[in-house]
A and B are shown apart, each in its own frame.
Chain A
């Protein structure tokens, strides 16, 4: 699923990564706990999170995640936008709640990724 389709489905605002809208993502994960992302997630492309601080961007970068969708209308800080720009990560924000954001994307075919336990 292209990032622009994710933006459209989640009615999201794009804070950075406008040039990445045609990047195709194949999987997603959702968590507010960054250690969860670091522990269980592998080869993901989209991170959906209600957590809004610079460590969300750092965590995504460590995992080679290409796009972060903040939910519940969270607005990223300037720090976050700057780090995301530097890392080549698209940062978007949606008014959807976590459950609804996940359900919407899942229903449209965005699959959960491979997990390692």
Chain B
């Protein structure tokens, strides 16, 4: 049973608002009294994913389902897709342009960070169609 269902439109190429969906989820989890350590893991993973959608895909949609024992985050975009997911997962591999590096991102750590802070992460991507990233963080030990 879903305790709470949230949906967000993530605007593309808007670096000021980037992160606001993650911010909302963080606030909601805090309000629900979720352990701060889990709140932080979720916030970081979703924020990196949100930044990725803004940088690479011209925005997208974030669908979040909060259950008593876990959170499921689905980030869906209609961007260029990821040709080689295994390569994209490698620490330090990045296709971000220099302008993005000037903004403090694009170090090739986004996807590895997302994997690190979640209990499961699945990427489905089709070149030319888009990418869907599904992440789960369990609240229970």
Interface residues of A (CB under 8 A from B): 32-36, 38-39, 49, 51, 53-56, 58-59, 61-64, 79
Contact B104 A64 (CB under 8 A): no
Q: How far is the CA of A70 from the CA of B46 in the complex (A)?
A: 25
- 11 A-B residue pairings within 8 Å (CB atoms): A38-B113, A49-B104, A53-B103, A53-B104, A54-B15, A55-B19, A55-B51, A61-B23, A62-B40, A63-B44, A64-B36
Contact A36 B107 (CB under 8 A): yes
Contact B40 A63 (CB under 8 A): yes
Q: Which 7 A-B pairs have the closest CB atoms?
A: A35-B109, A58-B19, A34-B104, A62-B43, A51-B104, A35-B107, A54-B16
Interface residues of B (CB under 8 A from A): 15-16, 18-19, 22-23, 26, 36, 40, 43-44, 47-48, 51, 103-105, 107, 109-110, 112-113, 116
Give, as a whole number of angstroms, the nearest-CB distance from A53 to chain B: 6
The interface residues of chain A lying within 8 Å CB-to-CB of B104 are 32-35, 49, 51, 53, 55-56, 59
The interface residues of chain B lying within 8 Å CB-to-CB of A39 are 109, 112-113, 116
Q: How far is the CA of A39 from the CA of B103 in the complex (A)?
A: 16
Contact A59 B16 (CB under 8 A): no
The interface residues of chain B lying within 8 Å CB-to-CB of A79 are 16
Interchain CB contact (< 8 A) of A35 among B18, B23, B36, B48: B48
- With contacts A35-B109, A39-B113 known, is A55 near B15, CB below 8 A? yes
The interface residues of chain B lying within 8 Å CB-to-CB of A58 are 18-19, 22-23, 47
Give, as a whole number of angstroms, the nearest-CB distance from A50 to chain B: 10
